[in-house]
Structure 1
Amino acid sequence: MKSFLSGILLLTCFLPIFKTQPLKAQTSVVTNSQTNKKLFYTYYNKKIPLILQEDIVAISFKPKAQSRASLPLHLKLQLDLNRSVGKTNFNQANLSLENSSLRIKPFGKRYALMRIPSTNPRDSSTIQRLLKKQAYVENTLPVFSRQKSSPQISGGYREKIILPNEIILHFDEQTSNSQKQKILRRHNLSIIRPLRFSSNRYLVKSLSASGVQVLDVANRLYRLDGIKSATPNFNLSHNLKTSTNVKPIDLSIPFFSKTSFDNSLLSPFTRKFGGISNITQRIRLGTIRDQRKIKNPFQTSLLPLQWHLNSAPFSYCLNQFPSFINRCLSDNLFNRSRSLKPSTDIGVIPAWSKSKAGKGVVVAVLDDFIQWNHPDLIGSLYRVGNVQDKLRGEKHGWDFVGNDPDTRINPRELSTFRPIFQDSFLLSDDELLEKYADDPFLAEISSVRKELIRHLTKAQIAQALRDHIRKEVSSLFHGTWVSGVIAARPQGKNGVVGVAPKAKFLPVKVSKTVYSPTSGFETMYQVSQIIEGIGYAIARGADIINMSYGSYLPTADETDTIVRAQKENPDLVFVAAVGNEGIGRIGFPAAIEDVIGVGGVNFKGNRASYSNFGNELTVVAPGGDVSTRSVGVNGGILTTGGQWVNGLWQGIDKPRYSWNTLPLSRGKYIWVEGTSFASPMVAGVVALMKGEDPQRVLSRKEILEILKRTSSYRGLKLSNAEKKLHQLLMKRGRVPRSVSAEKYFFGSGLINADAAVREVQNRLVGRTQRTRRY
């Protein structure tokens, strides 16, 4: 999701990042040219600047108002304000507000965002007064950003940071209760609640400060003795996940969904075999000469399409039959070649044959909606046992956004997105373009592709918008995609397989996607929810924590939570996506020391164009690439989708074509791309490694060392542009001479599950033999 995230992404220029110490890895994300006049928050004694968005205001609703409202509060407020605007006398010199329709966008459960159409201070004050008159409105809050949108960044990274009157206050262990009370009284603070699954960490609010003054309160608290950190409990929203499935469609090539179903890239496959249900009898898993004697315990009908697990069949069919890739796979033509060699897969099939396939390992997935009842996921779902701190109703993970035991989409959330999804099917071209005229997707293709769009028909633009909406709605289930990459285990011969199919995954929902007509789809999360989600995963015994999200908002509390967890749990492994902006910087939290930061490569062995890179990139894994003209969606990562939920398809006929979903599956399976999916691939390989070490003899440092040492640059390719950039940055001193071009763009290389599993087994055997000698 990422999408996000989201996220989920640290410098505004190419600066080296070194992970020699936990703090040093993150202080490098701070721009050095700061002035005391700028708004900022504190991160390990560094000032992180914030830019106030003066044209946007956030609204917080009273806690009990939602349960009494028949309409969602943001819609009720929108109606009430627009009624009031018509009765209000505005400044006659500026009629923009009087003639505007105010739109309110939901932002999580208790917040909403409103763009103020007038720049006149008097009109802004009028809006503030109107808001305060609403009985269900608690307060108005400032909105910040970390950086401006940039045309160099794919999709234009836009973020909104809401500052509620909430501060995460982390006391030193030595601070007594009386000292804590003294600090709270002296600074006029009230405790909202202690953070769950965290020690000495409280959510507090100021009884005297509001708005931007909350930053000053947090910064003063940070400097006090007895306090480890004081971080504003930011609500972060951005429109770029660490999954790039939501990136704008390339209008210079034919839309995959524009072609009819029978003529799609998948048509030879589906015409001949009648769709997914009838594929099983005709597809046989292709093997290469070096692997003919290897028994694959997880052979399924869709495995040949999962090139990240075995790239040889796909590579052969692409080279020999580029126009009929799926026909080649279905007829098993690749199996007749004697010269096939694996290239860009992760070597997982031979690893399965000699390992426990991740049995006994728990991988926590911190993400968006996780539809754990998917038929390929239900068998790998972790069940929480009898623990002392069990939450009410807890069985299969926890939703820290909605504060409930189910990470799946609920009926109320479904009712929000169903009409949008249905519009993409049921509205005419004119109706669709009129209703979504303010969607940023249309604004982007109009501004970025001015020359091209003049040659497009209305029908083509409408089709692009339809595909965009469908892809965005499908990306609500980002966590379902990630979970499938790690641990999918189909019940029969149909379905997809995860990297560690016998591992268990623990769903932890820490982010949410919202939609508004003017802002489009955006992923949001709150710092406190991330911290509690990490603590929860640790408390439930996770061996690995996957974080396919990122931001440019480093916080001391999240960093400290991860660093402390690493110290207290020497075998716990964190894996994170590095980001999807295609630039030389590593996202947060991937840049934290000993967190495995993962970049993405495509099926040809090139760095995926979206994947971030840099001195401290750890490794790379297949992230998918659906934009290549020759293969289309087949170049993505095929995984479990969540769009198949029944409520989403009410009144919609069977789709006539694909938009990154497998035909006829209604979103049950989907091709995706992004570092969000390279990260869980590594998490899956670590699960395979840990499955061979049930006593957890190997430490995190040893696991990381083995993972890096068994990775390689075999099959990977640098472009001329990448080589030139590396040379330029070395000359300017921004890349150490000890960092090769391969390391700068690929880290230690492409992971190798087979080699990593064998090395773990050999190392454990060696230790056993040495122990017996004594």
Structure 2
Amino acid sequence: MKRLVQQISTRLASSVMVSGCLAGAIALLPTAITFSSIAHAQTANAQPTDDLYYTFYGRQIPLRSRPDIVAVQFRPTSGSRSRGALPQYLQLQDDLQTGMSSGTRGDGRLEEPAEGIEVNVEPLGDRFALVTPTDAGWSTNDIRQRVQDQNYVEETLPVLSLSGVSDDAAEMTVVLPNEIVVGFESELSNSEIQYLLYRHDLEVIRPLQFTENRYLVRSLRESGIGVLHTANRLAQEIGIQSAAPNFVQSVAYQVQDTRLANAGIVPDANERLLNELAALPTLDTPFDSDLLPLAWHLNSTPQRGLLQTRTDVRATEAWERSNGGEDVVVAVIDSLIQWDHPNLAQSIYTVPESTPNLLPGEVHGWDFTNYQVVCTAEEICVSGDPDTRISQEELVILRPAFQETFSLSDSELLEMYESYTYWILAENPNLTDAELARMMRTLIRSEISAEFHGTWSAGVIASQPADAQGVVGVAPNAEILPVRVFGLGGEITPARLVEAVGYAAERNVDVINMSLGSMWPHQDLVDQVFTVLDENPDLVIVASAGNENLDGVGFPAATPGVISVGATSIEGRRTFYSSYGGRLDVVAPGGETTLFNRRGILTTGGTWVDGFWEGMEIPSYSWDVSLDPMGYYVQVQGTSFSAPNVAGVVALMRGVNSGLDRDRITTILQDTASYDGLTLSEGDRNRYRLQRDVGMTLMEDRLSGVFPLPDPVSAEEYFFGRGLVNAEAAVNAAR
């Protein structure tokens, strides 16, 4: 059985963003939100030829159907699965490949199995999967029929991509369930809302919590693509503020293609680490940590030397002038947050029992990825559960592939994961089997490690070394409120994110960090961010600019009022992946691990959980992003980790002056940032000249952050915003 742990096509295409922001470019919002590839397509043809689109503040975002992929929604398991603990996506792959079918006879099995179909079935969270044929002799209609024969399948659903964008963007897929997020104008009465729902044959699934006048609804009349048309009709109704499908999107952590060139292991990892640390100078700081010399984003001197300019956020100096972010709470809206990590356990916020509208079992944040709806005594109903850590069910899904990368021979691995072979060889056609297998191990392990993206983000902000052992965050005394919105494989929906943002604000956090930059623009999310910012003038939201190397940051960082953060390398350059230009505020270290892992951002990992190593011998070597054999610590790259650097700096500022509002904090961050230590590459300088002098915007880019303006910004501001964040200067100004 060929197992795919994660959606490869989505991973490869996760660099495809939809939007950027540029003041004055389009009269949409107080600060306009633009999306160039979409805008280009709409300029040429205002109406998509296949009439598939959804709306964003009146704009039509053109879409296209993906008939080459079948999306599956599974029935709730409720303990009735027919074959033990086998995950449903693996059961479906097995049934399709062996020709079995369930539920067509009294015994639940076919007497004579049908012909098997060679397919890849890839999980998308725990409720959905994507089925892709690998045998050209079978049509997706044939596969769809065979899928629907399985009694554990609820239905098959349309798969959509953006239309009129680059080839990579065309591969970005979303699933269209029969769910629409509808926002009603505040002056509408309940009876008027009921009338609008009745007129369009809609029923309420549930009101969305932590937001006003917003509901998740389903159509009683339409299914499939018809749900998209229903949402578009709703969006034109008087009294409806917004209506768009609750797309199921995958925003998995991007594994850069070039990362595979470093595939391999580091033998004798612990001994080598000790030798390396012994050769590096130590730092005398209030927060002692044996791994601090490797944390170049906090202080780059140990690795760059005294004669080189600093390229870090100067956190170690800021600690001397602050309380480390004490009494400051940072909500981390992200994926799995393994808060029992030894360096996070003392940093996790405990929600007081006196909190209004406390959710059932809520102690350390909330996991919005569980589709089970729970209700309080006050009849506040929300999906999810109170634990953001990995569940036993998720371990069952991830453990087999993880362990097989350590236990299988090269030939066994290549046979088991044949579909990975195709992608790797497409980029590296001359590999030997041994080289191919080595890359495959790296790829699978990195994908599974990246499920703990939220743990990585939280560690950058507020990890604490236990007995001077481990890593330290930018604001070690701050507290983290874990909020999980990503299922396995980066599965996320707008409704889930809307509720998460409102939940964090209602828990009175000081800062919200969103290390996610790959969302399709969704009006309900932007509306929710505006509402939360308006109602909480002291709340600061920080988001990653995106890893797409595009002009203009991605969503939700593109939303006005959110601090958008690009990424720099240890050399002080813009990282090769970091987006720039329109709506970029500041930059911070994000790391580049392409040539050397030590150039990544050091933080807390998640694969140390016992369930991953159950029944196997722990290796003596480190692998992929892991610093140690079990993955307690990782070194990673991305704007996902430059944003937490800034969130940590905001926590330090708020710790020394709780009276600062958002506008003042943003101003201080920008005014104290500088271009000291930053260097533009020749390629970036030439690209800037092209944008400034010619006004050329490449089709795969968003609208430029330079050329439409009467007075173009400098090349430095174009690529670095207001500059590299300086925690020491920001704390001094805050004091």
What TM-score comes out, normalization by structure 1 length? 0.83
C-alpha change, 1:665 and 1:438, in structure 2 (3 Å) is closer
Corresponding residue to 2:363 among 392, 395, 403: 395
Q: Specify the alignment match of 1:698 in structure 2.
A: 660
Alignment partner, residue 234 of structure 1: 247
Q: What does residue 650 of structure 2 align with?
A: 686
* Structure 1 residue aligned with 2:407: 426
Matched, 1:760 2:734: yes
Contact 2:13 2:171 in 1 (8 A): no
Aligned to 1:436: 417
- Residue 373 of structure 2 corresponds to which residue in structure 1? none
Distance (whole Å) between structure 2 residues aligned to residue 377 and residue 654 of structure 1: 23
Query: Is the 1:66–1:73 Cα contact (8 Å) retained in structure 2?
Result: no
Partner of 2:687: 725
Residue identity matched to 1:544: V
**2:106 equivalent to 1:144:** no
- Structure 2 distance, partners of 1:396, 1:552, is 26
Q: Please tell me whether the aligned partners of residues 587 and 724 of structure 2 are also in contact (alpha carbons under 8 angstroms).
A: yes
State the one-letter code of the partner of 1:422. Q
Superposed CA deviations along residues 137-187 of structure 1, whole A, max 9, x for unmatched, are 322210001258967x6xx88422111111111111100011011111111
User: Could you tell me how far 1:211 is from its partner in structure 2?
Assistant: 0.8
Aligned pair in 2 of structure 1 residues 36, 602: CA closer, same or farther (>3 Å)? closer
CA contact (8 A) 1:77 1:104 kept: yes
Name the CA distance, whole Å, in 1 between partners of 2:143 and 2:433: 38
Counterparts of 1:433 and 1:655, CA distance in 2? 21
Runs of at least 5 residues in structure 2 that lack an aligned partner in the other structure = 1-5, 103-113, 371-383, 696-703
1:250 offset after TM fit, Å?
4.8
- Structure-1 separation of matches of 2:461 and 2:170: 28
Structure 2 distance, partners of 1:389, 1:5, is 41
- In the other structure, the counterpart of 1:175 is 188
Shift in alpha-carbon separation, 1:482–1:19, aligned structure 2, 3 A? farther
Aligned to 2:32: 25
Contact 1:25 1:591 in 2 (8 A): no
Match of 2:47 in 1: 35
Shift in alpha-carbon separation, 1:147–1:493, aligned structure 2, 3 A = farther
2:131 matched to 1:114? Answer: yes
Distance change >3 Å, CA 436–CA 582, structure 1 → 2: same
Q: What are the within-5 Å matches in structure 2 for residues 425-464 of structure 1? A: 425-439=406-420, 442-450=421-429, 454=430, 456-464=431-439
Which of 716, 719, 729 matches 1:745? 719
> Match of 2:721, as an amino acid?
G
Aligned to 2:546: 579
1:110/1:679 CA distance change after superposition, 3 Å: same
Instruction: Give the match for residue 455 of structure 2.
Output: 480
Q: Give the letter for the 1:747 counterpart.
A: G
Alignment correspondent of 1:74: 89
Q: Distance in 2 between matches of 1:727 and 1:749?
A: 19
Query: By how many angstroms is 1:474 displaced?
Result: 1.2
Q: Return closer, same or farther for 1:157/1:700 CA change in 2, 3 Å cut-off.
A: farther
Are 1:52 and 2:65 counterparts?
yes
Match 2:482 to one of 487, 502, 507: 507
Structure 1 unaligned segments of length 5 or more: list them.
88-96, 274-278, 288-294, 317-338, 515-522, 762-774
The farther-off stretch of 655-664 and 419-428 is 655-664
Matched residues in 2 for 1:589 and 1:392: separation?
29
Distance in 2 (CA, whole Å) between partners of 1:428 and 1:59 is 32
Post-superposition shift, 1:116? 4.6
Deviations 1:526-551 (A, max 9, x none): 11111111111111111111111122
Q: 1:508 to 1:677 in 2, by over 3 A?
A: same
Give the residue type in structure 2 aligned to 1:410: S
How many pairs does the alignment contain? 683
1:247 is matched with which residue: 225, 250, 256? 256
CA change 1:17–1:466 in 2 (3 A) is farther
The correspondence for 2:331, drawn from 364, 371, 395, is 364
Answer whether contact 2:587 2:725 (CA < 8 A) is retained: yes
Contact 1:283 1:301 in 2 (8 A): no
Secondary structure, counterpart of 1:378 in structure 2: coil
With the length of structure 2 as denominator, give the TM-score of the two structures: 0.87
* RMSD between aligned residues: 3.0
CA contact (8 A) 2:548 2:579 kept: yes
Letter in 1 for 2:92: L
For 1:316-355, what aligned pairs fall within 5 Å after superposition? Answer: 316=305, 340=307, 342-355=309-322
Residue in 1 aligned with 2:555? 588
- Residue from 508, 527, 548 that aligns with 2:494: 527
Report how far residue 111 of structure 1 moved.
Answer: 1.9
CA contact (8 A) 2:188 2:239 kept: yes
CA separation in 1, counterparts of 2:364 and 2:728? 31
What's the offset of the Cα at 1:738? 2.5
For 1:440-477, what per-residue CA distance to the aligned partner results, in whole angstroms no more than 9, with x for missing partners?
Answer: xx333322233xxx2x4321221121122222211111
Cα separation, 2, equivalents of 1:649 and 1:416: 14
User: Separation in 2 of the partners of 1:360 and 1:14?
Assistant: 34
CA distance in 1, matches of 2:80, 2:713: 57
Q: Distance in 2 between matches of 1:104 and 1:720?
A: 44
Q: In structure 1, how many angstroms separate the alpha carbons of the residues matched to 2:680 and 2:549?
A: 14
Answer whether contact 2:459 2:604 (CA < 8 A) is retained. Answer: yes
SS of the counterpart of 1:298? Answer: coil
